């Protein structure tokens, strides 16, 4: 019985610490604007600027990633998986680092 209580206490402490670290990272990385590479899975953001080559920017715009577009970060395992206009779009870390976004509250 004591072992179960100890484990629950440890798990609650760990969850609180992870939540606190995420809040601190959000404040540091995504204050007014940041790149897609700095956002977490589950976050929503509005695209502010595309800082990539002209050809890459044109391709992204044709796929729905343009200034003012609302995107959601679905996954961050290997690059970034975005939800754009109901479709999913995978970007590598370099391309995600070239897209500046404003995080929107969930």
Quick one: pLDDT at residue 26?
56
Residue 83 above 70 pLDDT? Answer: yes
| Residues 73 and 45 sit within 8 Å (Cβ to Cβ) | yes
- What's the pLDDT tens digit per position in 12-22? 776 656 555 56
Single pTM value for the model: 0.67
- What's the pLDDT tens digit per position in 50-60? 999 999 999 99
- Split at pLDDT 50, 70, 90, the class of 95 is very high
Quick one: pLDDT at residue 5?
75
What is the phi-psi region of residue 78: left when phi exceeds 0, alpha when psi lies from -120 to 50, beta otherwise? beta
């Amino acid at each position: 019985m004591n072992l179960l209580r100890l484990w629950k206490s440890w798990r609650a402490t760990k969850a609180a610490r992870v939540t606190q670290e995420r809040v601190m990272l959000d404040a540091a990385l995504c204050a007014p604007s940041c790149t897609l590479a700095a956002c977490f899975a589950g976050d929503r953001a509005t695209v502010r600027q595309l800082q990539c080559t002209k050809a890459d920017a044109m391709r992204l715009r044709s796929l729905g990633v343009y200034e003012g577009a609302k995107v959601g970060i679905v996954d961050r395992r290997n690059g970034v998986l975005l939800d754009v206009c109901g479709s999913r779009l995978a970007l590598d870390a370099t391309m995600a680092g070239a897209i500046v976004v404003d995080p929107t509250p969930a």
